[in-house]
Structures are given as C-alpha cells and as structure tokens.
Amino acid sequence: MTENDYLIAWGIYAFAALGCLLVWFRLTRWMWRWLREPLRLLAAVAVCTPTAVDSSSAKLAPAIAIAALDILFKDTSHLWQTAPILAMYAAIAMAAYLLFALVRWPLERHSRARRAEQARQAPNQGDESPRPAPEPEAALRAPPASPPGRVEPRV
C-alpha cells in the first residue's frame, strides 16, 4: 500500500465515520441529555481512535475496525493491543466530560433560577408593558397577484 493509498483510505474512513456519528447523533436525539452526551462521546471515541496495525510499522488503523476483525476471524493477537487503547481514550474523554459537566451544572442552575425569578416578576409588571408599534401601511396591503400560467426563469 503506497502512501497515497493509505491517505485515501483514511479519508474514506473519516467520511464514513462522520456519517456514522451523524446517524448516532440522530438516534440518540430523544434521550435525556445526561445519558445522550456520554453515549455520543463514547461513540466518537470508538470511531476516532487509531491504533498501530503491527508493532513493526508506523501505519495506523481504526482501533474499532481492528478489534472487530480480530473478533470476526477469532484471532485475538491485536485485540489485546486495541482494547486497552480504546479503554484509555474512553476514560480520558469521560473524565474531561465529567469536568465539563461539573462546571456546567452550577451555571445552568443559576441561569434557571434567574429565569424563574424573571418569570415571577413579569406578571407583576403587566400594566407597564410597552405597546406594540403599529404596522406600516405597506405591511397591511395584500401581495401583488402573480401572472396566470407558467413563469419562466430569466436567462
């Protein structure tokens, strides 16, 4: 495999991985956010983690593909190499996500409390609310009638 073939293969894989991630994002759209986000993160880690094809070369391949082929062909030689790599990247990504979630949680609670306070104060200020501006005369007129028949595009 030449260097050009190698780069083309990685490009095709990246495009397919992006498609798989978009489908996974669509499938997990209905879930509760605190479950949806870690599942999406683990899917991204599984699809985007590379591993060495063999120890003698510097070529990389997707770790999930290496693990799947090892399981499919009942050859566990590379499986013991890829499983710890996937677990390590998943643990790092989950730790980063937990840190992000712990920072986000108090900020969301504060903004939710502020919105609730504003909603409680809004009914009390109903008499002082500004009136909507009157619409201009042009907005009240009906749109011009279209000519009958087929309209050809301009060339």
pTM: 0.69
- For the segment 28-48, the average pLDDT, to the nearest whole number, is 94
> Of 43, 49, 40, nearest to 13 (Cα)?
49
Q: Give the model's confidence band at 80: pLDDT under 50 very low, under 70 low, under 90 confident, else very high.
A: confident
CA 60 distance to own-chain centroid? 25
Q: Domain residue spans in the chain?
A: 3-115
Token pair belonging to 81: 């190499």
> Of 41, 43, 36, nearest to 19 (Cα)?
43
List all residues 6 or more positions away from 71 whose beta carbon is below 8 Å from its beta carbon.
79
Mean pLDDT, the chain, integer:
85
Q: Give the model's confidence band at 125: pLDDT under 50 very low, under 70 low, under 90 confident, else very high.
A: low
